[in-house]
Structure 1
Amino acid sequence: MINDKLNENYTPKILVFSTEKISDPAIDLAGLLKLHYPPTVYTISVPCSSGIKPRWILHAFEKGFDGVFIAADGSDCPYGPTCTENTGKIVASAQDIMKEKGINPARLKMAAICSVCAEAFVKHMNNFYQELVKMENVKAQPSEY
């Protein structure tokens, strides 16, 4: 469901890559606290955000997601001190591929979400959702990556 400005009922779909030990607890806490964010946010848990592949991100766009958000471990990553740097390189690589395919790189966001950052996660989701509503129509082409 890529943005169609003619459709007033447009509801962007966001895929979140979250991490099992750090950002997943924050997302769970948001639910426990009954904090509200768009119901079209879907999560996939990964052990570490630096293990995400650019082709996974592109695949999400091919399958109809309007935005992808990486809830990175930040400096709290149990797998290594270079997690944030490595995840940043993955995001940059994916955004380069997105540009080549005519997909607005602003459709991919990354932020460090700690295990108790439920309110920050909800704020990121609500803001990203509003940004996606304002973006122009983009069609993802099948990936060769």
Structure 2
Amino acid sequence: MGQARVNEHGKILILATESCAYPGADSVGQAHASYPPNTYILKVKAPVLFPEQFYLDCFKKGIGGIIIMSCGEECPYEGAYKAMAQRLDNIYALMKEQGLDIRRLRLTAICTVCNRAFLNEVNQMNQVIEELDRPTQA
């Protein structure tokens, strides 16, 4: 059997808030549901704490897609979700300047028991990076 081709830009980084999205990811594991093995979850207090350059650096270092999973409007840090949504606009502009497809970065709200939503987001991002990284035919 041949070895599967490893896509160097196929990694998905999930920034999961410790109060909502990370327990949601944990519930996916407890339910014995599976998601693509190229997914890496980082537990964070609030994604808004990461500067804009962090996201660009991730893409430069080989991350194919980033999903920011937060609590949404129920965030325990007042104004953090709105601030993150506004920051995202700036990051999208920087991504466009660098020729990066903005579909590689997504903000979504995931609750502590949102198994289907979690899996849906991961699978959608996986499809996006597969599409974007597919070699074009000459």
Could you tell me the TM-score, scaled by structure 2's length?
A: 0.86
| Structure 2 Cα separation of the partners of residues 10 and 128 of structure 1 | 17
Provide, for residues 48-97 of structure 1, a one-character-per-residue CA deviation record: whole Å limited to 9, x for no partner.
122222111111111111111100220221111x2221111121111111
- Counterpart position of 2:5: 9
Identity of aligned residues (%): 29
Moved over 4 A (4+): none
| Structure 2 Cα separation of the partners of residues 125 and 68 of structure 1 | 10
| Structure 2 Cα separation of the partners of residues 32 and 58 of structure 1 | 32
Task: Describe how 1:36-55 pairs up with structure 2 within 5 A.
Answer: 36-55=34-53
Provide, for residues 87-134 of structure 1, a one-character-per-residue CA deviation record: whole Å limited to 9, x for no partner.
111211111111111111111111011111122101110111012111
* Residue aligned with 2:63, SS: coil
- Counterpart position of 1:129: 126
RMSD: 1.5
| Structure 2 Cα separation of the partners of residues 87 and 21 of structure 1 | 16
| Structure 2 Cα separation of the partners of residues 90 and 38 of structure 1 | 28
Provide, for residues 5-59 of structure 1, a one-character-per-residue CA deviation record: whole Å limited to 9, x for no partner.
xxx8354110111111111000011011011111111011211122222111111
Bigger mean CA offset, 23-32 vs 51-60:
51-60
For structure 2, list consecutive stretches of 5 or more residues without a partner in the other structure: none
For structure 1, list consecutive stretches of 5 or more residues without a partner in the other structure: 1-7, 138-145
- Counterpart position of 1:70: 68
Conserved? CA contact 1:49–1:73, under 8 Å = no
Conserved? CA contact 1:73–1:113, under 8 Å = yes
Verify: 1:59 aligned to 2:36, yes or no.
no
- Counterpart position of 1:99: 96
Could you tell me the TM-score, scaled by structure 1's length?
A: 0.82
* Residue aligned with 1:66, SS: strand
